[in-house]
Structures are given as structure tokens and as C-alpha cells.
Amino acid sequence: MSIDIIAEAVAKSKEHWIEFLRDIVNIDSGTDYKEGVDLVGSYVAEKLKDLGFDINIFREEIYGNHILACRNRDVKPRILLVGHMDTVFPRGTAKERPFTIKGNIAYGPGVLDMKGGIMVMLSALDALRETGSKVYRNASICVFLNSDEEILSPSSSQKIDDEAKQTDLAIVFEPARPDGGYVRRRWSVARLRIISHGIAEHAGWISGGKGASAVHELIHKLIMLLEKLEGKGQVLINIGVIRGGDRFNVVAPYAEAELSLRAPTLEEIEGIIRNIIGDIINKTFYEGTKSELEIITKWPPLLDNERNRYALGYFQKAMHELGKELKIADSSGASDGNHISQYTAVVDGAGAYGEHLHSPREYIEIDKTFERTVITARALEIFYEEHIYK
């Protein structure tokens, strides 16, 4: 099918999908706000039903529910489209800075990461349906939308991987790189927690006091960790959260820090955990304290391998039909594409076009985002055409 026909279908439904984006951006859906994530999920599930998908809800107690929606599930080839409904923003953010359009720019919490990506995914499916596309009619297409990607998908990654193992092509709708590039390679990442235990005591009891501050112990450990890792080669460390103590005048009996560690390979991360962080955990600065390391999650890298390069070729051909070249980029950020890529071909970064994700300045460029809708739809057609005739 001509890419111009797809572009025309996308243009006709553009205002409809912008209103859909407005609706979901104006719902707070931070990972820890289950009610909000589930409300976003109800909007998305309704759209997927309208598009002819069968809906399966994975119900969760702590995090939001996950959605698996499929059509033609038992046929081949099989396509998996992946996105997440959670954001990094706390409750109340949507009211403080709701979805706003100024010219060709749309602002709002999560508009880029990745509610705009959800819009790209669904509007591409809508265009394929409206144009009677063969890939829409005949291929197996499943959509997996999870609720906990921003904390490395603890309750959903295995469910996504179970689908990926049965899939011929997966597309992840994380944001485009700032120049519009699709993601070729992502670093490995680990989410860690360092916990220090101390002994509570009155903070003013100098003589004969038996207290031992977990906060002081943790601070020393974190300083040593930064000295050894920050700015040293291809390693990124971010201490994102520190908690500890009960009152200003009580020696803290407990403290913890949550951090991310990123490197090109999982082996490098495991070596840092074993040889550097492990030594720091075992070192005691204050007598009476003890510390431990919790490895919450470790993800492998998204690799630049042959099957992923071949999958990017579908998008390259779609871009050529628009008279443009595909841009590709590497990222030290992680996505569900990291673990999906262990099982099938992945194209990542297929979502919205914009900048400043995870910040109050987050935005998308509307026209370029809908162009990515056209590219996704046509790339799926090219994949189907090449698969059935090879």
C-alpha cells in the first residue's frame, strides 16, 4: 500500500488522537499511584477494543494492572507492540501543568515518556485498520502495556518476555532520540538499594552513649562510591533516593539509598557490584552499624545485532518512501527493549518526537510525532510483505 494512503488516514484521525492524548496526559499515573495508572489503562483498553482487539488484564495488587491485547493471536507472523502507562511524576502534577498545546508543541507530564508513544502505537493501528491493510487483517498483533516500566518492570518483565518468545518482531514505543533517531543500542542497568542499620540513641547523650548512626554510615559509603565510580569511564551512577532516621534529635537506626548503575554490558555491572560496591558494603565506618546490598533488578543491554539491524531495515524502507533517511542512536537509558531483545528482533525508540523527558519541560512536536505514526504503520506492512514472500 502507498505510504501516501497511510499518511492520509493518519491525517484524518489526527484530532481524535490528540484528544485521546489530552485525556491520558491529564491523568496522574506515577508508578506508585495504582488508581491513576489503572484509569489510564481503562482508556487504552477501550480504544483497543474499538480497534478489534481481545483484552486480557493482568491484575496487580501493588502496581497498576497490565494490559495484553491481541488480534489473530494464533496465526503468523506475530508482532508485539510494547509500551508503558506509568510516569515518573507524583500525584497532583497533571493539575499543576495539564496538557497544553502551543502551536505545534504539546506539553504535559508524560506526554513524551511515553503517553505520546501510546498514541503513536494506537494511531498506527487505527490507520492500518482504516486502510484495510493486510498486516492488520492477517498477521497476529499483540499489544502489551505495562504499569511499572519506570522502576524496571518488576511485575511485568517476565510476562512481556513470555510474549516476546513467541514473537517475530517487537516494537517498543519509547521516545525518539532528540534528533528523531531510533534506538540501536542500550546499556545494561541495575537498580540497587544500600541499607545501613544502626543503634538509636538520644543525639545529645555524648557521655556513655551507645548509639550508632545508620545515616552517617550510609553517607560515608555513598561518598566513597561516588569517588570510585562518578566520572570514571563508561559507568553512570545515580543516587536517586535517600531515606533515613526518625527525628533530628535521635541517632538514626536505619538508612537506605536507592541508586541506578549503568554500563555497556551486564558483565561490567556485575563486576562493579562484586569488586567495588561489595567492598564498600563490607567496610564499617561507625562501630555498631552493619550494612547490606539489595539487587532489585538487573537488565541486560539492548544489543546492536543482526536481527535488530534487519528489523530497523523495515523502518528505513518506510522512511525512504517519505524521501528521508532513518536516523539511529545509542542510549545509556534502559527500556523493556533490553530484556525483550534476548528473545526476538526489536525496534526501540519508535514513539513520540520531543525532548526533556522526566522533567517539567517535557514536550512533543505534534507533526513529527504523527509522521512517526505513518512510518510505524508502513514499516509493519513492509515486515508483513517480506515475511510472507520470503
pLDDT band for 388, please (50, 70, 90 cuts): confident
Q: Which residues pair with 55 in a beta bridge?
A: 69
pTM of the shown model: 0.93
Q: Over 60: is that where the pLDDT of 64 sits? A: yes
pLDDT number for residue 208: 58
Q: Stretch 92-115: mean pLDDT, rounded?
A: 98
Q: Which residues pair with 144 in a beta bridge?
A: 68, 82
Q: Stretch 97-119: mean pLDDT, rounded?
A: 98
pLDDT number for residue 126: 98
| pLDDT single digits (tens) 291-337 | 999 999 999 999 999 999 999 999 999 999 999 999 999 999 999 99
Q: Over 70: is that where the pLDDT of 383 sits? A: yes
C-alpha 74/C-alpha 77 separation (Å) is: 9
Q: Stretch 191-211: mean pLDDT, rounded?
A: 86
Torsion of CA 365, 335, 43, 77, to 10 degrees: 100
Q: Stretch 33-51: mean pLDDT, rounded?
A: 98
pLDDT number for residue 262: 97
Q: Please report, for the chain, how many H helices and E strands are present, in that order.
A: 13, 16
- Which position has the grid cell 538520644? 202
Whether the Cβ atoms of residue 99 and residue 107 lie closer than 8 Å to each other:
yes
| pLDDT single digits (tens) 120-138 | 999 999 999 999 999 999 9
pLDDT number for residue 314: 98
C-alpha 96/C-alpha 187 separation (Å) is: 34
Is the previous residue joined to 98 through a cis bond, with omega within 30 degrees of 0? Answer: no
- Which domains, and CATH codes, for the chain? 3-187+301-389 (3.40.630.10), 193-299 (3.30.70.360)
pLDDT number for residue 78: 98
Number of Cβ atoms within 10 Å of the Cβ of 153: 27
pLDDT number for residue 209: 65
Tell me the CB-side half-sphere exposure of residue 308, using CA atoms within 13 A. Answer: 23
